[in-house]
Structure 1
């Protein structure tokens, strides 16, 4: 079928592109869409590796049928991950291919029963098990909590393709290029980072364990369930995920602020300028207007963070409070923090920021700037001093 790229010998992309969903998981914006990647291995036995979101079944099914040899049917559906954006088509696929066997690990099969009532025509596989398709040998590697408890990866020992599930994936549709040698890599890596920080970051230690487990595997292609398929440089997505999972940081600063009437912003402006003058031009986000999806991605690789906001009803400015809850859930670590707060009649933001730093064992760089009212020239000087101290610590 025209338009179905070959990932490797006898191996084809039969996924779909989604430009209709505006929020992934009803949370994360998709300005460039998203792909649900699925792959068909055509051999003596035919295996579909992962499926797609139910809404896109007709497109998915048409691609599968176009590749099936005459008088052949699907023999196996390999389920690397049970989340419904990869399994939503299962019920209808089973009705179209009634002799198809569902392949997954023990936890996968438990979830199949819970989601789809599937309790027959299933094959349970364990870590290191193989499935022989004829020429192709599929090996299963269990990688729990990347990012659900049942997640696994499937490696084709014949072609060297790693079907990695959600690991090493990214946002962005692939209709303008499926492979890493066809796409705008800067944009794709940006969307990978956003996908990682939004979806996977909390489970970074489990990602690191999975990567260590896969080190002996001779990868030629990395084929995730979302985003770019890596054939030119298959080690790059693994290296990026390892770095992001370990929270290795660049000597840069993110300035995240909220300002109701412009007074806090005046303080932030001075700090941002002082950082720029020291060669650390910061990324700056207004937390009331920048979606947390983008904010978390931008700050994830920054060694320094300045968090600035007013007190609101004796506590944190609500968008800042939401951001900190998200960062705490993602187990943020290894950062240097600077705090700038303001208040009119009762403080509270400063204490809340300091409590956040204490809970995550993050170092706070002095001075902590707390301003009453609009702030004075001395307060502005304190903001510049905070920036200077932060720059020194990052550079040391």
Structure 2
């Protein structure tokens, strides 16, 4: 797509990746975008690069506005390859550009590419760059979500170029939220935000809250947020800031998600009365079968719900492999403010449910124990136990809602 003006003399010059479905192990069924921004001011300034596969796309977009050799400043907010691996191709066309980057960013970039001959200006929170009509303010955001990360605020444009924060993995012809909502639903957009946050930023909730607090305390006027992935927020940027604040606080829907796998359908059959018990207690419920669903979807649905029930058969006295893999992945994201229980079937030696519960305890989740198990295929008596288990868990989820206030 051609460059798109987002503010006077400020342009989106990025690329749309319609085809990507695996983003470092994170499934992206809707593709993604690699956003970067050109400020065509007295000092022509480029903010961020793109993934190396799309270097030609951003170069062509830049050429549609200005000769790349006239770019004198390159701001790198984040060195992850999806944002910075095209830097070599860009610097070949603008060899005199000064690179504005954090100290950790400079050191990290040297590990990815040959930076000899390039000029760096190391910046920290509070440093500025005047491009003529615009003043850029740099704010470090370490561990959101890499140590080098920062954001750039363009004061006169009231524009926050937010790097990975407030983004979504979503390829779309629309560049702005209001354009997107003309042909899609608000649910689809918000679901993409949940998906992105849960799979990338979940471990950094306290940092997200702190950085949003810094922006509020600094009194920055923001009427547009331009992330490095997905759509640009111009209709109501305050909405996405509020949404992030709520998610970072751990707020979630009064819902139960059942995440399970099954060997000979016995654990799967247990989900049916459990769901009915949850529903009869007046709580919404969603069911995810792991081998039929991307892990990233299961992670998202876990984070959207207050309570999670893990279903696993026992194999070799331990959890089913796909369940173990999911819980290992989830543990790395360090979830908080969630309830968890477990259920499952076994043959001659139970151990899967016990191990699943132990995983939840290690994460520090609010545990509902001991769970419910059946031997081989659930009997009518087992189904009754499962139904009551579902009702009891749903009641506890409702009681737990005060912790989300």
TM range (shorter): over 0.9
What SS class does the counterpart of residue 313 from structure 2 fall into? strand
What SS class does the counterpart of residue 384 from structure 1 fall into? helix
Q: How many angstroms apart in 1 are the aligned matches of 2:215 and 2:280?
A: 44
What SS class does the counterpart of residue 70 from structure 2 fall into? coil
Say whether residues 1:181 and 2:178 are aligned partners. Answer: yes
Aligned residue in 2 for 1:33: 31
Superposition map of 1:98-247 within 5 A: 98-119=95-116, 120-175=118-173, 177-183=174-180, 184=184, 185-215=186-216, 216-247=219-250
CA contact (8 A) 2:277 2:390 kept: yes
Q: How many angstroms apart in 1 are the aligned matches of 2:138 and 2:396?
A: 45
Structure 1 residue 243, shift from structure 2 partner: 2.0
Aligned residue in 2 for 1:255: 258
Structure 1 residue 245, shift from structure 2 partner: 2.1
Structure 1 residue 67, shift from structure 2 partner: 0.7
Aligned residue in 1 for 2:313: 310
Q: How many angstroms apart in 1 are the aligned matches of 2:109 and 2:253?
A: 42
Aligned residue in 2 for 1:50: 48
Choose between structure 1 and 2: higher helix proportion: 2
Aligned residue in 2 for 1:351: 354
CA contact (8 A) 1:51 1:89 kept: yes
What are the Cα deviations for residues 275-333 of structure 1, in whole angstroms up to 9, with x where unaligned? 12232231101112111111111120211111111001110011110111111111112
CA contact (8 A) 1:366 1:389 kept: no
Q: Using structure 2 for the length normalisation, give the TM-score.
A: 0.93
Structure 1 residue 360, shift from structure 2 partner: 2.0
CA contact (8 A) 2:2 2:61 kept: no
* 1:34 to 1:126, Cα distance in 2 relative to 1, 3 A: same
Greater displacement, 251-260 / 373-382:
373-382
Structure 1 residue 21, shift from structure 2 partner: 2.1
Size of the aligned set, in residue pairs, is 392
Aligned residue in 2 for 1:299: 302
CA contact (8 A) 1:161 1:223 kept: yes
Structure 1 residue 242, shift from structure 2 partner: 2.0
**Which stretches in structure 2 are left out of the alignment for 5+ residues?**
400-405
Structure 1 residue 150, shift from structure 2 partner: 0.6
**Which stretches in structure 1 are left out of the alignment for 5+ residues?**
none
Q: Using structure 1 for the length normalisation, give the TM-score.
A: 0.95
Say whether residues 1:75 and 2:72 are aligned partners. Answer: yes
CA contact (8 A) 1:7 1:13 kept: yes
Q: How many angstroms apart in 2 are the aligned matches of 1:366 and 1:109?
A: 49
Q: How many angstroms apart in 2 are the aligned matches of 1:246 and 1:203?
A: 11
What SS class does the counterpart of residue 319 from structure 1 fall into? helix
Q: How many angstroms apart in 1 are the aligned matches of 2:98 and 2:39?
A: 15
Alpha-carbon RMSD across the aligned residues, in angstroms, is 1.6
